[in-house]
Amino acid sequence: MKPDSLKNRIIPVLTILISIVAVWYVAAYFMNAPFQRDLDRRAEVTSTTMEFIGKTMAQPKPILPAPHQVVSNVFENTFLRSVTSNRSLVYHAWVTLSSTVLGFTMGTLTGILIAVGIVHLKALDRSLMPWIIASQTVPILAVAPMVIVVLGAINITGLLPKALISTYLSFFPVAVGMVKGLRSPEIIQLDLMRTYYASGAQTFWKLRVPASIPFLFTSMKVAIAASLVGAIVGELPTGAVAGIGSKLLAAAYYSQTIDIWAALIAGSVLAALLVTIVGIIAKIVDRSMGGRPA
């Protein structure tokens, strides 16, 4: 770690984070205060200011839970419960993770296939590319419930329908990124391959594919975040069985605000982990391919 990275990166980020938490506490007080005042009046309790502030931070179903309530809920549901329990966040995160990864894998493979087709077939390039872009203006997340219900009607249930939504969301960044990547070799490099009398396949495997790897990983980072969103939304209509999305929906029905926030945090941690893992793999692959540290 360079000495100036502390001053230039960590301190500003920490400052902003701390101020967010501070604003959150203040907001929690003001949003929960009216209800608490109401409660106090009905119970005919008069409390000092400090007691009152303490009470606004300890409601069971607050309008805005205070950060420590969310943190303790996350901690309790992550570490103190058995992993197989229905209330464990680990269990729900695992369900979501499995469909995310399946959908991401299918989406990445589809995206790469489409990109290879587009780069090699001119007719495909001119007819398919506009539709790929148009496909993303379809709010597919809005269709997610229908995909789930319809596939459920023909007895395809469980992991696959959710994964299909993730696939749809994740193929696009990969396809676009790979088209760019496969076309990134310059004319001079392609000419060099010609002077080597390389066949089309050789040019593809020895020049185009290695050149596209950085593009692939950049788009995979976007794609895995998109797959996670797809998996979460795909869980909303499945009848609240399991997964972060169903946890969100169930908590929303019963106004369990703390649970909603805890599920959100779980989803965010999952997203950050997945993106980091892809980033680490990208670094390893880059190094093993002889990339120099920038």
Q: Smallest gap, in angstroms, from Cβ of residue 69 to another protein?
A: 14
Which amino acid, residue 15? T
Cα separation, 196 vs 188, whole angstroms: 13
Looking at the Cβ atoms of 207 and 244, the one nearer to another protein is 244
* CB-based contact 148:245 (threshold 8 Å): no
Nearer Cβ to another protein (103/267): 267
Report how far apart the first and last C-alpha atoms of the chain are (Å, whole number).
15
Closer residue to another protein (CB): 182 or 229 = 229
Q: CB of 173: closest distance to another protein in angstroms?
A: 11
| Closest CB 192 distance from another protein, rounded Å | 25
CA dist 238 and 240 (Å) reads 6
User: Could you tell me the smallest distance in angstroms from the CB atom of residue 252 to another protein?
Assistant: 3
Applying CB under 8 A, the residues found at the interface with another protein are 8-9, 12-17, 63, 122-123, 125-131, 134, 136-143, 145-146, 149-150, 153-154, 221, 225, 228-229, 232-233, 236-237, 244, 248-249, 251-252, 255, 257, 260-261, 263-264, 267-268, 271-272, 275
Instruction: List CB contacts of 274: < 8 A, sequence separation 6 or more.
Output: 97, 100, 224, 225, 228
Nearest approach, Cβ of residue 225 and another protein (Å)? 4
| 50 CB burial (10 A radius; 0-12, 13-18, 19+) | exposed
Residues 175 and 235: their CA atoms lie apart, in Å, by 25
Residues 6+ apart with CB under 8 A from 277: none
Nearer to another protein, 131 or 197 (CB): 131
Give the residue with the Cβ less far from another protein, 142 or 294. Answer: 142
CB of 153 to another protein, least distance (A): 6
Rounded to 5 degrees, what angle do the CA atoms 32, 34, 39 make? 95
Taking the CA atoms of residue 221, residue 222, residue 228 and residue 230 in that order, the dihedral angle to the nearest 10 degrees is -150
Please state the closest distance from residue 243 (CB atom) to another protein, in A.
Answer: 12
Asked if 182 and 115 count as a contact pair (C-beta separation under 8 A), the reply is yes
Q: Which is nearer to another protein, 33 or 143 (CB)?
A: 143
Residue closer to another protein (CB basis): 63 or 213:
63
d(CA 209, CA 215) in angstroms, rounded, equals 10
- Residue 259, number of CB atoms within 10 A of its CB: 23
Q: How far is the CB of 195 from another protein (least distance, A)?
A: 27
Q: How many CB atoms lie within 10 A of CB 281?
A: 12
Nearer to another protein, 17 or 45 (CB): 17
